[in-house]
Amino acid sequence: MNAIDLILAKRDGGRLEDEQIDWFIDAYTAGTVPDEQASALLMAILFRGLDAGELSRWTQAMIGTGTRADLSGVGRPTVDKHSTGGVGDKISLVLTPLVAACGAAVPQTAGRGLGHTGGTLDKMEAIAGWRSSLTADEVVAVLSRSGAVINAAGPDLAPADRKLYALRDITGTVESIPLIASSIMSKKIAEGTDALVLDVKVGSGAFMKDVARARELAEVMVGLGADHDVRTTALLTQMDVPLGRTAGNALEVGEAIEVLAGGGPADVVELTLALAAEMLELAGISHDPRSALAGGHAMDAWTAMVRAQDGDPDAPLPRAHEVEVVPSPATGTLARLDAMAIGVAAWRLGAGRARKEDPVSAVAGVVWHATVGDAVTAGQPLLELHLDDPSRLPSALDALPGAIEVAPAPASVPAPTLILGKIP
């Protein structure tokens, strides 16, 4: 076979055969197909798409470049969750130990932040001593003991995806729904979970800006789960307004701990409980996650998980040396708090990265003291910008014009609807 045949077939609207897909994924991963030919095929797929059969085989071929983990020895039903990324999305930090406290095993393979969206591993690494990379045997041991693990993807987890993802990032092919779906699902299927709940974000701070495309992506991913014997469902959730009250690594860990302790912002609690209910249903476990949260069992599972990965759950979280306060511009009701602007500000303060190899600051980020629908007073502290590098402040402030809108009192501004739909 040769790559030109595949490029021409897909360019002209044809269908790729199973053997062609298997050959291309293996050959590109091995380095025998050059980037320029792989780029041409990805662009053809962006314009022409992949049908359900092609996409299922493409995803299977990606999984097959590595190994599919065997978690049958864990002794509990396994279920995981994946978010497509947002601002202030610290849900995994609470959800993983919560669902473990209800009797499931949660093998959470997580990633790092890029651009305005935060990464779960970056957040967890704000905890003193916490270790992100476990071997396959360590993952099974930790899951058997505590039921919860948050782990970096190992080299054997769909290695084709690492090459294809990097190529998509520099060739303008990131937004292809088949390529997004296969990237996410190849890794989640390979991690060995029995069931999966997807949190597909929609809005200004999400990758998917409109509900129709988000629903299409969710439906495709749910279908891929079914094709590969992973029970899968998806929630569509809003990301026009950032989640909770913090965006930034140590800041979000602190907020997650507040939720585990029975407090925290209402939207974080609501979404955590909704996703937990979906995960437990797929796992076949009848348990009320709200009671596990209120009774302290989720906090116990958090402590066990952090310690199992060499972290110190009692160590104080790092704090910023400098805090810049942004006041409310008017008195009234907060009508707009743009997720993208808040995420970009946190990124520019040092909480995120422009390239995968860039370092991040544990302490940098944004705190907001009100959200959409809340009453505010002119001059009150509305945002706090946390940073340890003063040179970053001007560019972070430049991200904020237009991010905040205050409606004059007594305007009624409803809080945003958090959950927009479910698939299937």
Q: Which residue, chain included where needed, has tokens 């006041």?
A: 327
Residue 338 has which token pair? 């743009």
Active site residue 48: no
Q: Are strands 195-202 and 231-238 parallel, antiparallel or unpaired?
A: parallel
Give the Cα separation of 347 and 16 in Å (integer).
Answer: 40
Among the options 92, 146, 176, 183, which is catalytic? 183
Other residues' Cβ atoms within 10 Å of the Cβ of residue 299:
21
Q: What DSSP letter does each residue of 17-41 carry, written as one string?
A: -HHHHHHHHHHHHHT-S-HHHHHHH
Residue of 161, 199, 240, 338 marked catalytic: 161
Phi, psi of 27 (to 5 degrees): -70, -40
Rounded CA gap, 412 and 335, in Å?
9
Tokens of 342: 């808040």
Catalytically annotated residue among 168, 188, 348, 386: 168
Cross-sheet strand order for the sheet of 419-423 = 79-83, 195-202, 231-238, 419-423
Contact 176, 45 (CB under 8 A): yes
**Tokens at residue 5, please?**
């045949």
Find the catalytic residue in 81, 82, 201, 353.
82
Place of tokens 């993983």: 96
Q: Catalytic pick from 187, 215, 297, 348?
A: 187
Give residue for tokens 């030109």. Answer: 4
Q: If you write DSSP's letter for every residue of 254-309 in order, what string do you get?
A: HHHHHHHTT-S-HHHHHHHHHHHHHHHHHHT----HHHHHHTTHHHHHHHHHHHHT
Active site residue 183: yes
- Residue 162 a catalytic site member: no
Measured CA to CA, the distance from residue 93 to residue 121 in angstroms comes to 10
Give the Cα separation of 93 and 196 in Å (integer).
16
Residue 55 contacts residue 189 (beta carbons within 8 Å): no
Residue positions annotated with a catalytic role: 82, 161, 168, 183, 187
